[in-house]
Copies of this chain bind each other. A is one copy, B any other.
């Protein structure tokens, strides 16, 4: 943690201070729990209510607002600016760097670039190529022939199978599995025959794979996670699926085999995407949605099976009124019957 001034902070993010530039900042906090010396941010209108009560010394915001904070720092994208301030003051995880451990198992035929660390009990199989600046944490397994770019991190006990292709600056969280055989069987006379999975997993640059996630290798075509995509904890991705660049898959999402997601999709927690369908660019799916058909680019969907999100919001809220609807229909039917009788007797 570093103590700094609002002036330095504003300079770092190219922000404009409304208030005293000499305020001392020594920590970062959310609006509601911030105290003296904190810098905070307003990125979500939902938290507007805290602006007048926050005890933060300064707040990042994209417009001038009434606040109990001593100062506002104006900037276009307060959340991103806040992220950059956290980086400035705290930085990212510092890796302990002992170099190549004598207690790691590294095949003679593998190549490891400069400034890498391979920690205790990691295993690097034959013909693996690892770029420079990579951190291979304890218990990691990297299978034969896999190629990894520069500045990647494989956290403890993550497993990468053979012949995978990992780009630059890829992060693989602890206990994630990359490149295992997919769930592919040809059932014949009551026996599920395993289909050889002869293709790979490709993780492009800047991908992050969450803890305990499982990314299957392809059987007939590669499984690909596009550049900059972020995959949450315990997500499963089936063989041959394609996840476009910049997609965000929140924890526990399941993508079935050979599904295709365009660029910059955002898929909510526990949502499912069935196999062999295409989801266009920038599609957003609510949590627990089940996408069972192709979805056009830019659409927002929700529900199981997934439909237009606006429609789903209105419709799913009404499920709870089904008992009343049923009673009302019954009442109408009865009254109509009576009316018909009365009308008949009228004629």
Contacts and interface: CB of A to CB of B under 8 A. Distances in A.
A319 B303 contact: yes
Interface in A111-133: 119-121, 123, 125-126
Interface string A79-96: 110111011001111001
Interface stretch (A3-11, A17-25, A63-71, A135-143): A135-143
A150 interface: no
A108 to B, nearest CB: 12
A327 to B, nearest CB: 10
Contacts of A171: 194
A208 interface: yes
Given A196-B87, A336-B336, A175 B177 contact: yes
A270 interface: yes
Given A234-B214, A316-B304, A336 B339 contact: yes
20 contacts: A83-B196, A105-B120, A123-B138, A123-B156, A141-B174, A173-B181, A175-B176, A183-B210, A183-B230, A183-B233, A191-B228, A214-B234, A251-B256, A252-B252, A254-B269, A269-B274, A308-B320, A332-B332, A342-B347, A343-B346
Given A141-B156, A332-B333, 7 more contacts: A29-B220, A80-B187, A180-B233, A183-B210, A307-B319, A321-B322, A329-B332
Interface of A: 28-30, 33, 46, 77, 79-80, 82-84, 86-87, 90-93, 96, 101, 103, 105, 119-121, 123, 125-126, 137-139, 141, 144, 155-157, 159, 161-162, 171, 173-177, 180-181, 183, 185-188, 190-196, 198, 206, 208, 210-214, 216, 219-221, 228, 230, 232-234, 236, 238, 246, 248, 250-252, 254, 256, 264, 269-270, 272, 274, 276, 287-288, 290, 303-305, 307-308, 311-312, 314-323, 325-326, 328-329, 332-333, 335-336, 339-340, 342-343, 346-347
